[in-house]
Structure 1
């Protein structure tokens, strides 16, 4: 890590451009979004309950469409906020979506494995 006085710079072992990192993070958003939706509905069909009250309300009221709309809303907020950041920091937006959704996939998989 080095600093130019105003910004800390992290040096990766390989050269990763901010654009490439952001692209990877958006791909991870897509994969984790689908994984979260699929594992959530598999768990619900196996008798598990949704622990997120907002997601639970969307699912109870509108089913799969409600869950997709909720995820689309979150991605939309991210896309609206993305241009507010400098290019070097834009990957934080998809990372902020992908990290919790990826964690949710693993939690869902664990919970499903306890029911099987």
Structure 2
């Protein structure tokens, strides 16, 4: 076997790995969107149903701009910072960025859902 055969196999493996990483990153960013929508929608519904916001900064923004507008502003800022971080960190660590914002938002959505179900 020649060295070219090893290089082409390695290149094929690298290409397949790169495609898998892109696919994983796409799924993780989709999870960010789902978690964002879940958190915003359930926070809005919970507040309308009589629950109170626990975050004092969010409460202040809600009174100034409205619930949905404030949440989109806060989450938009987080996503902007995350996109900068995503571009800045080495490729192997990039999946951590969307996961790091999606998980807390998803947990917040689950907590909101459980509180709403207790009403």
Task: Classify the TM-score, shorter chain.
Answer: 0.7 to 0.9
Where does structure 2 lack aligned partners over 5 or more consecutive residues? 1-16
2:80 counterpart residue number: 76
What TM-score, normalized to structure 2? 0.79
The structure where helix makes up a greater share of residues is 2
Q: CA RMSD in A?
A: 1.5
Counterpart Cα distance in 2 of 1:27 and 1:97: 12
What TM-score, normalized to structure 1? 0.81
Offset at 1:17?
2.6
1:28 counterpart residue number: 31
Counterpart Cα distance in 2 of 1:98 and 1:104: 10
Number of aligned residue pairs: give it.
101
Where does structure 1 lack aligned partners over 5 or more consecutive residues? 1-14
Q: Which moved more, 1:81-90 or 1:42-51?
A: 81-90
Answer with 1 or 2: which has the greater Rg.
2
Secondary structure in 2 matching 1:72? helix
Q: Residues 18 and 89 of structure 1 are in contact (CA less than 8 Å); yes or no, is this contact kept in structure 2?
A: no
